[in-house]
Amino acid sequence: MSPVIMNHTLPTRRHFISALTLSSAGLFAPGVFAEELLRTASVEEGPFYPDKLPLDTDNDLLIVNDSLTPAVGGVTHLSGRLLDAKGDPIKNALIEIWQVDSTGVYLRDRPNHPGKFDSNFQGFGRFLTGSTGEYYFRTIKPIAYERRPAPHVHFAVKVKGREKWTTQLFVNGDPGNEKDPLYQRIRDPKARNSVTVDFVPVKGSRVGELAAKFDMVMGFTPEA
């Protein structure tokens, strides 16, 4: 899919995120995920977690602070739930994501690529899960880059009293998956499927927006 540049009038970030939260509330009702749960495969953090966090770390990676110029890329609504080993939601967990911009550069690696990255892409975001374990980010569809043939988004989950847990989200059907060493290192097909996600066109979107749903199942049950 060709990169999409959002150049129409944008609402304020606070209005956008609030509206999205309200409109998505019905998606996280108890009992929606009745099928048998599979623990999500852990994938290594990698070397590009930001060494210095940006001033803006919210869940809208397309807009930095209150800029009116959005990042370049396939606009993606990335959401899901964080669940424990019994399938119950984990609330108040901090979920972090980071990924390359449309030029293939991580936030941490920008000093090595002066003037050759998308300064309008936040590159990193955070979200605190709600009472039903839900999270939401607005970002771009991940792309491949020189070091990694498989497009991916890095995830870190921080739960109080536990060590940070990391994984990576991969794009279902992308040909780069078959050449990516980290993806191929996940030998078990079920484990591999647990981190492979469909990117589906958003019906009625004028700018080719996508939606990706990634539920993460932890291998523990939080203490009461």
Q: What is the CATH number for 197?
A: 2.60.130.10
**Domain assignment present for 23:** no
**Domain assignment present for 7:** no
**Domain assignment present for 17:** no
**Domain assignment present for 25:** no
> Which contiguous run of DSSP H or E holds residue 65?
none
**Domain assignment present for 209:** yes
Mean pLDDT, 10 residues at a time, the chain of 224 residues: 39 44 44 64 97 94 93 98 95 98 97 95 98 98 96 97 97 98 97 98 96 95 66
User: What is residue 36's predicted lDDT score, i.e. its pLDDT?
Assistant: 55
Answer whether 148's CB lies under 8 Å from 94's CB: no
| Residues facing residue 96 across a β-bridge | 126, 156
**Domain assignment present for 56:** yes
CB atoms within 10 A of CB 154: 22
Answer whether 80's CB lies under 8 Å from 216's CB: yes
pTM of the full structure: 0.84
Answer whether 166's CB lies under 8 Å from 11's CB: no
What is the tally of structural domains in the chain? 1
Who's near 51: CB < 8 A, 6+ residues apart?
108
Phi, psi angles (nearest 5°) of residue 168? -135, 140
Provide the residue count of the chain.
Answer: 224
**Domain assignment present for 31:** no
Domain that holds residue 143: 38-217
